[in-house]
Each structure stands twice: as C-alpha cells, then as structure tokens.
Amino acid sequence: MNATLPSTVLIVDDTPANVRVLAEYLDGHGFNVTVAQDGEEGLERARFGQPDLILLDAMMPGWDGFETCRRLKADPATAAIPVIFMTALSDIGDKVRAYGAGGIDYVTKPFHAEEVLARVNTHLSLRNMQRELQERNEALQREIRERQRAEQVLAERSRELARSNAELERMAYIASHDLQEPLRMVASYVQLLERRYMGQLDADAHEFIGFAVDGARRMQALIDDLLTISRVDTKARPLQQLELGDALAAAMRSLRISIEERQAEVRVEALPRVLGDAAQLTQVFQNLLSNAIKFCHAAPPTASISAQRDGALWRIRVSDNGIGVPQEYRERIFGMFQRLHGRREYAGTGIGLAICQKIVERHGGTIWVEDGEGGGSAFVFTLQAAGQEGA
Amino acid sequence: MNAAAAPVEILMVEDSPGAVRLTIEALRDAGLASSVHVVEDGVAALDFLYCRPPYGDAARPDLVLLDLNLPRKNGSEVLGEIRRDPALNGIPVVVLSTSDAENDVARCMALDANCYVVKPMDYEGFVAVVAGLKRFWI
C-alpha cells in the first residue's frame, strides 16, 4: 500500500480462528486490522471505525454476510466502504449473491494470502482514486457555484449601473429642457424692459439690465452644453464607416463666421475613413477648432489637422499656435465646467472639452493634450479605423 | 384684410401667464392688431372652439397658438381633434413650444400643424417670429 497513513481493514467472521492467519498477514503488510465476530458487531464497528475496506464472511449465524452487506450499503455512513466477500471455493451461487448484495469482489476459502493482499490493495487504491475524484469533483462544483454567484452579483451590479446611468441622463435631459422656459422668461422680460423704457432709465439701470441679460445668456449656453453632453449617449447613432474629412468640413462650415472674423487659417492633411457617428465627430472638431481660434493671440490663428495610423486606430491631431495649456492643467481641462481663464479674458462654459472626451470615449478612443509646434497646444484623439482600411 | 380694420381673433392655449403676456407684448411690438383669448389647458381649448360653456359666445378664432405641454389634455391631442373635425379643420394652428425634440416636431407635422415654432430665447427673436404669423391670415 503506498498511502502514507496505514489503511484499516475490518474482517467480519464468526470463527476468528479461521481468519487469524489472514489478519496477521495483513498486519504484517502495514494494515490496521480489526475483527468483528458477527454481522451486527461488524456493522457497528464499520460505523464507528470507518475502515477503508471490509472483508466479510458469507456464511455466519444471525445476519449472514449478504444481509450484513445489504445493511452496510443501506447506511449512508458505511455505504461507500468496499466490501470483499469471503466465500467457499465451490459455491458459485454465493458469488453471484455477493455482488447482488453490494459486494465489490470476493475471495475464496481456504485463503491464498497473497491473492487476498493483491485484491485488498487493488480495491483500496481504486477506493482512494474514487475519493480523490470525488473531492476534485466537489471542489470543482464549489468553484462553479462561487463563479455563478460572482457572475450574478456582477450582472446585478451592471444592471443597476445601467439603470442609474439612464436615469441620470434622462434627468439631465429633462432638467435642461425644463430650465429653458423660466430662463426664457427672465431674458425676454429684461429685454422687454430695456426696449420699453429706453431713455427713461439712467446709465446704472442699463448696466444692471446688461448684467441680467448676460447672465441669462450664459445660463442658456450652459443649458445648451448640458443638453449636448446628455445627448452624447441619448441621441447616439451606431458607429459606421465615414470619411473623417466630411465631419471636419461640416465643423468648419458651422465655424465659418468666427474663422472669417479672426481670419484663421485651418490646414488639413488627408484624413482617413474611420468608424464613427458623423454628427458627434463634427462636434469634436467644432469644439477643438473653436478653442484653437478662441485661445489665440497670434495673427492669424492657425490650426493644423493631421492623422497618423496606430495599429487598428487612427491618431488625429489638432494643433494650434494658441496660448497652450500648462502641464499641470492638462488632465483637468477635460473635466466638466473646468475653466482656466476669467470670463472677461475668454468666454465659455468650460464644457467643450468634456463633450469631446465623452464622444471620443464613446467611440472607443482616448483624448489628451500635448505640446503643439511653436508653443501652442495639440489635442490628440484616437478613433477606430474603418474595416478593410490600409495603413 | 386690413389689420387696422378688424383685429385678428387669436386663441392662445398656454398655461404660463408670463408666456401669455410676452406673446401679447410681442404682437403689439410686431404691430399686429389682435384680440387674444387665452385658455390654460387642452380641454378648455376644445370647449372654446366648440362654443361650449363657459365659452358660449366665443368667436371662431382666425389662428390658434398652441403650447404642447398643457394640463389635462396636451397640445398634440388638441391638434389631432381640430384636424379630425371638418368644422374646425380650416383653422390655422401654430405650435409654439420650448421643445426642439425631433419627435415633438415630427408628431405635430404629422398632425398637420401649419407651423412649428421653437420659442426663441430672446425677445427680439420672439417679436420676429410673431411678426411672421401674419402670413396665416393675410
């Protein structure tokens, strides 16, 4: 036996003298041997001793071996213990009955000690393997149950997250919409006041009205931006193959007036086909270009747009000759309502770059800012290349 | 029709007093002589149009200015009922709304609104819009 602990064998036989030689032989081969003299005692010892194997005499007074075996197999505490019957050599009927009662094997009397040892060892190692298999099986099942539980928890959490996200977006959308009407009242009536009482009011009154109108206008801009950012998800269209150049052209069309006013120069290199939502990518270009023009003292303000292949992605670079972004603010500028300058210096709600980031991330890309050529800044973002697109 | 001769009868369906007054002022600033009747919800609007009490002597309006978001019966329901009834179907209906949501616009156009106007945020813009209403009765 190659197990580290000695295996225990229970011998059940009504005439101990018959099995003494066998018991001593097994004992000599490193087994713990216990003996019971009838079926009832055998069952008892099996229950409390939990032997690794039972050698069971078929013919005994009281419960014979078959009855004892049936009882051993009926009791959950002993059912798994392998039982080897000891039968008379000639009795073929007994051998069949032995299997029928739940025996795993038989040895015949008179014993051939080496044969008994060989059978005992075989069944013990079978039993050990079976145990090991069972343990592994149980461990696997435990693991499966744990994973299933973990998956359930995860699924539940992501459902909750999706729900609260959707709610939040809906709230932002409704709030922005419902804020418009009262704001319209404030702005319109202040303007009406100015229009009707022009000339009857002094300079202070006109200045106060000016501040009120300006406040309402800025609030309007904030609401528009909040609506835009909440629409990045609520009004999202599926990503499809598109010419990035078209999105840029659309952005330049809507910026035409400020481009002309500042006589800004926009240099465009060939742009690739990408996977995207055209309206949203137009918005990204529009925000980046209007920043490039706004945050610039040079004449003329100049922006250059180029693309570089990067694996499955395209890296789009919008660089300018503007005032640049100091190193310490380069992450912060993508946060909502983050402004680096006073209102009188540069107008704006501080939400444009947050919108860009949200859109780029929805497209599976990232956006960051680095040094531009000649002191300005360069905003770089990645987009997925359209399918079948060469580098 | 000469605007100075007889004011146009306008039924305004709007539950915000501020919005009502602003529209009346804008009509004035746009130089349109009008007589504006105001009801605050969709049910009252239909009572007015059908001359049901308390609007037994209501004149048939030349134009309905309809807000969408109304108590009891919303603007698109009112519009639907006007368009389904041959007796009312001829009255021009202009939807005045703060909503620029695509589905609001689409629903009203499908119901044959004569015009869908997103209320401008500034007063001058609103006067311009109101001045444009002239084309519905001249």
Q: What is the ipTM of this complex?
A: 0.81
Q: Please indicate whether, in this complex, the C-beta atoms of A187 and B29 are within 8 angstroms of each other.
A: no
- Residue A168 phi/psi, 5-degree rounding, is -60, -45
Q: Using alpha carbons, select from B124, B130, B119, B120 the residue that is nearest to residue B96.
A: B119
Q: What is the pLDDT of residue A87?
A: 84
With beta carbons under 8 A apart, name residues in chain A contacting B123. Answer: 187-189, 191-192, 195
How far is the C-alpha of A355 from the C-alpha of A357, rounded, in Å? 5
In angstroms and rounded to an integer, the radius of gyration of the C-alpha atoms of chain B is 14
Interface test with B, best of A173, A174, A188 (most B CBs within 10 A): A188
- In the three-class reduction of DSSP (H, G, I as helix; E, B as strand; rest coil), residue A264 is classed as coil
Residue type for A94, please?
D
Query: Is the pLDDT score of A347 beyond 80?
Result: no
The separation between CA A268 and the C-alpha centre of its own chain, rounded to angstroms, equals: 40
Percent of chain A clearing pLDDT 90 (strictly above): 39
Q: What is the pLDDT of residue A237?
A: 85
- What letter does residue B61 receive in the DSSP assignment? P
Q: How far is A371 from chain B (nearest CA, A)?
A: 39
With beta carbons under 8 A apart, name residues in chain A contacting B22. Answer: 185, 188-189, 192
Between the alpha carbon of residue A56 and those of residues A1, A283, B43, the distances in Å are 20, 87, 96
Q: What is the pLDDT of residue A388?
A: 58
- The mean per-residue pLDDT over the stretch A128-139 comes to 92
Interface test with A, best of B22, B23, B100, B122 (most A CBs within 10 A): B122
Q: Which two tokens stand for residue B56?
A: 């037994």
| C-alpha triplet A373, A378, A381: angle, nearest 5° | 140
Q: Which two tokens stand for residue A270?
A: 């060939």
How far is the C-alpha of B52 from the C-alpha of B49, rounded, in Å? 8
* Structural domain range at position B90: 8-131
pTM (predicted TM-score) = 0.55
* A177 at interface of B, judged by CB pairs closer than 8 A: yes
Q: How far is B50 from chain A (nearest CA, A)?
A: 30
Q: Which of A61-70, A101-110, A271-280, B36-45 has the lowest mean pLDDT?
A: A101-110
> What does CATH list as the number for A8-111?
3.40.50.2300
Ordered by start, the domain boundaries in chain A are 8-111, 158-221, 239-384
Between the alpha carbon of residue B68 and those of residues A182, A332, B30, B45, B99, the distances in Å are 16, 41, 24, 12, 9
Q: Using alpha carbons, select from B65, B70, B40 the residue that is nearest to residue B137.
A: B65
Between the alpha carbon of residue A339 and those of residues A64, A255, A357, A370, A375, the distances in Å are 95, 21, 15, 18, 20
Q: What is the pLDDT of residue A288?
A: 92
- Going along A198-263, which residue ranges are E strands? 240-243
- In the three-class reduction of DSSP (H, G, I as helix; E, B as strand; rest coil), residue B69 is classed as coil
Q: Please indicate whether, in this complex, the C-beta atoms of B19 and A185 are within 8 angstroms of each other.
A: yes
How far is the C-alpha of A211 from the C-alpha of A174, rounded, in Å? 27
Instruction: Give the pLDDT band (50/70/90) at residue A245.
Output: very high
CB A271 within 8 A of CB A381: no
Kindly state whether residue B124 falls inside one of the protein's structural domains: yes
CB B66 within 8 A of CB B93: yes
Q: Please indicate whether, in this complex, the C-beta atoms of A189 and B99 are within 8 angstroms of each other.
A: no
Helices vs strands, H then E, count in chain B: 5, 5
Kindly provide the b/e burial profile for residues B122-131, where b requires at least 16 CB atoms within 10 angstroms of the residue's own CB.
bbeebbebbe
CB A36 within 8 A of CB A44: yes
How far is the C-alpha of A310 from the C-alpha of A365, rounded, in Å? 12
Q: How many domains does chain B have?
A: 1
Q: Which two tokens stand for residue B61?
A: 């309006």
> What does CATH list as the number for A239-384?
3.30.565.10
Provide the greatest CA pair distance for chain B: 40
- Residue A57 phi/psi, 5-degree rounding, is -70, 135
Q: What is the pLDDT of residue A244?
A: 93
The separation between CA A176 and the C-alpha centre of its own chain, rounded to angstroms, equals: 33
Q: Establish how many alpha carbons lie within 13 A of residue A117's alpha carbon, considering only the half-sphere containing its beta carbon.
A: 15
| Model pLDDT for residues A282-300, shown as the tens digit of each residue | 999 999 999 888 888 888 8
Percent of chain A clearing pLDDT 70 (strictly above): 95
Residue with tokens 């969709």: B42
| Model pLDDT for residues A184-225, shown as the tens digit of each residue | 888 899 889 888 887 888 888 888 888 888 888 888 888 888
| C-alpha triplet B89, B92, B98: angle, nearest 5° | 120
Among the partner residues B99, B101, B126, nearest to A188 by beta-carbon distance: B126
User: What are the mean pLDDT values of chain B's consecutive 10-residue runs (138 residues total)?
Assistant: 66 90 91 88 91 86 89 87 90 85 81 86 88 80
| Model pLDDT for residues A48-98, shown as the tens digit of each residue | 999 999 999 988 888 899 999 999 999 999 999 999 998 876 677 878 888
- What letter does residue B63 receive in the DSSP assignment? E
Q: How far is A188 from chain B (nearest CA, A)?
A: 5
How far is the C-alpha of A76 from the C-alpha of A112, rounded, in Å? 32
Give burial (CB, 10 Å; 0-12/13-18/19+) of A319. buried
How many cross-chain Cβ pairs, A to B, lie less than 8 Å apart? 37
Residue with tokens 């990232």: A366
- What letter does residue A334 receive in the DSSP assignment? G
Kindly state whether residue B21 falls inside one of the protein's structural domains: yes
Residue with tokens 């037994």: B56
Nearest residue of B to residue A221, measured between CA atoms:
B121
- Positive/negative CA dihedral, B84, B88, B94, B98: negative
Nearest residue of A to residue B69, measured between CA atoms:
A178
Q: Which residues contact A93 (CB under 8 A, 6 or more apart)?
A: none
Kindly state whether residue B52 falls inside one of the protein's structural domains: yes
Q: Are strands B8-13 and B63-66 parallel, antiparallel or unpaired?
A: parallel
Q: Using alpha carbons, select from B34, B36, B60, B30 the residue that is nearest to residue B48.
A: B60
CATH (domain of B105): 3.40.50.2300
How far is the C-alpha of A157 from the C-alpha of A155, rounded, in Å? 5
Kindly state whether residue B3 falls inside one of the protein's structural domains: no
Kindly state whether residue B137 falls inside one of the protein's structural domains: no
CB A81 within 8 A of CB A34: no
The larger pLDDT score, comparing residue A111 to residue A278, is at A278
